[in-house]
């Protein structure tokens, strides 16, 4: 049980799938204390006598399987190993309940960097991509195992809790407030998030409920130029990508500055430094919103296919640039092509390796691949196949090969030469 994806070794167990997570969290920002209980409804893929659950650093107090103690369990090295009292046959279901506690923190690795639960000056954020989910809840940490979620989070009065899901209700309880959220749409573990801070809510007028959760003093010209245009952005992306795939969209703006925005399902997180009227901030607001289609609704099956998220979201930046009266998508493409031509050509887009999976060349070459495809088949066919790609795969997990096959089926044309040059070779092809 060494994991299921070579890009994120030591995570995931392919012998079972989680169907639903019920997470009950009690968090105290003073001291960064988490007391929690998680119930995982699972289905055995193989005959199951032992299972591995990812959980980093936190202390396990109790484990039950279908309401009974397992034969035994161990928790070390970020893995909770459970030996079942009775074998569960392939296709059989079981409920695993884990009570745990401690001081959650980020998971640091040399190759993938830091990810997970991170304290702010006053509050917390979760940035889990690609390996940080086990820092705050026990999970089968595989991008191809998507599940539904229920979240119940208790936090002190005066704090706002935002989760990657639809709000259900809030209930005062002594000096705390209990927040409930639900995510019915299938979600990968790394896209689940918990954001806690002293925030107010700004409602926006969109085709689905839009909320900006932020400190009370963020309003101003920078906010209006970036986050203020999200309803317009969302409507435009619906026109080119198809209907927004979730029940709502929340943007969290932390009081702290953040180096980069954070992607999660139906929720994106920015620092207050992104409230600035510049292309570099506007493009990132567009980028994170586009991930709701490409990355969250349609999710990679293997981490090597990260361009299916980042290349598509980067191309959405260029589309919004043109739509909003700035440089055209073609002008953006040629600008970044020239910059890419000056960089090393040692990256295979369809399999960049874990060291380069978040390299800027993955983003830009991925977007240029889409621009080359658009030039090859025409805009009408291009946007048609993007919409059918989302429609056919929402809630699922995909590969590069799936996308290539989809494009060839939708167009009725052989596109092998184009995709081979852009996706599977290191040399930068000519841009049409």
- SS3 for 409? helix
Give the residue numbers spanning the domain of 139. Answer: 1-196
pLDDT greater than 90 at residue 221 = no
* C-alpha 188, offset from chain centre: 7
Per-residue confidence (pLDDT) for residue 131, from 0 to 100: 97
Number of domains the chain is built from: 3
70 and 143 share one domain: yes
Per-residue confidence band for 1, with pLDDT thresholds at 50, 70 and 90: very low
Domain boundary among the residues 196, 220, 244 is at: 196
Q: Mean pLDDT over all residues of the chain?
A: 97
183 and 44 share one domain: yes
Per-residue confidence (pLDDT) for residue 2, from 0 to 100: 52
Domain annotation covers residue 273: yes
pLDDT tens for 70-83 read 999 999 999 999 99
What is the Cα–Cα distance from 356 to 105, expressed in whole angstroms?
24
> Strands, E, within 103-248: which ranges?
106-109, 113-120, 123-127, 147-156, 160-163, 166-173, 176-187, 194-197, 200-204, 210-214
Neighbours of 166 (CB within 10 A): 18
pLDDT tens for 46-58 read 999 999 999 999 9
More confident call, 2 vs 196:
196
- pTM given for the model: 0.97
271 and 309 share one domain: no
189 and 139 share one domain: yes
Domain annotation covers residue 430: no
Q: Which two tokens stand for residue 155?
A: 């936090």
203 and 188 share one domain: no
162 and 97 share one domain: yes
281 and 307 share one domain: no
Neighbours of 137 (CB within 10 A): 30
* 131 in Cβ contact with 139 (< 8 Å): no
Per-residue confidence band for 258, with pLDDT thresholds at 50, 70 and 90: very high
Per-residue confidence (pLDDT) for residue 55, from 0 to 100: 98
């Amino acid at each position: 049980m060494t994991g299921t994806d070579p890009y994120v070794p030591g995570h995931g167990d392919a012998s079972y799938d989680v169907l639903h997570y019920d997470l009950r969290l009690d968090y105290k920002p003073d001291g960064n204390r988490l007391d929690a209980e998680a119930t995982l409804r699972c289905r055995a893929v193989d005959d199951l006598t032992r299972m591995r659950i990812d959980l980093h650093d936190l202390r396990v107090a109790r484990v039950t399987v279908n309401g009974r103690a397992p034969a035994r369990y161990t928790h070390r090295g970020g893995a909770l190993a459970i030996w079942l009292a009775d074998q569960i046959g392939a296709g059989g279901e079981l409920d695993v309940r884990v009570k745990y506690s401690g001081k959650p923190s980020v998971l640091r690795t040399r190759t993938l960097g830091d990810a997970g639960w991170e304290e702010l000056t006053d509050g917390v954020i979760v940035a889990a991509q690609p390996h940080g989910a086990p820092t705050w809840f026990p999970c089968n940490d595989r991008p191809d195992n998507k599940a539904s979620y229920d979240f119940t989070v208790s936090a002190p009065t005066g704090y706002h809790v935002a989760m990657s899901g639809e709000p259900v209700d809030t209930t005062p309880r002594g000096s705390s407030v209990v927040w409930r959220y639900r995510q019915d749409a299938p979600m990968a573990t790394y896209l689940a998030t918990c954001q806690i801070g002293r925030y107010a809510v700004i409602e926006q007028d969109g085709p689905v409920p839009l909320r900006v959760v932020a400190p009370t003093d963020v309003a101003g010209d920078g906010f209006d130029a970036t986050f203020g245009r999200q309803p317009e952005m969302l409507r435009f992306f619906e026109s080119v990508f198809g209907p927004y795939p979730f029940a709502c969209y929340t943007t969290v703006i932390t009081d702290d500055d953040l180096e980069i925005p954070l992607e999660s399902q139906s929720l994106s997180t920015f620092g207050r430094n992104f409230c600035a009227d510049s292309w570099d901030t506007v493009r990132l607001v567009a980028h994170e919103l586009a991930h709701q289609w490409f990355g969250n609704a349609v999710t990679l099956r293997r981490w090597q296919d990260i361009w299916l998220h980042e290349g598509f979201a980067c191309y959405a930046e260029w589309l919004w640039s043109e739509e909003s009266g700035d440089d055209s998508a073609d002008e953006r493409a040629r600008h970044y092509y020239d910059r890419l031509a000056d960089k090393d050509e040692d990256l295979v887009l369809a399999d960049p390796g874990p060291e380069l999976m978040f390299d800027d060349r993955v983003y830009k070459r991925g977007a240029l691949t889409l621009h080359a495809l658009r030039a090859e088949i025409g805009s009408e066919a291009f946007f048609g196949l993007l919409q059918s790609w989302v429609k056919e795969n929402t809630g699922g997990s995909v590969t590069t090969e799936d996308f290539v096959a989809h494009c060839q089926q939708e167009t009725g044309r052989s596109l092998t030469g184009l995709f081979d040059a852009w996706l599977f070779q290191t040399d930068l092809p000519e841009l049409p």
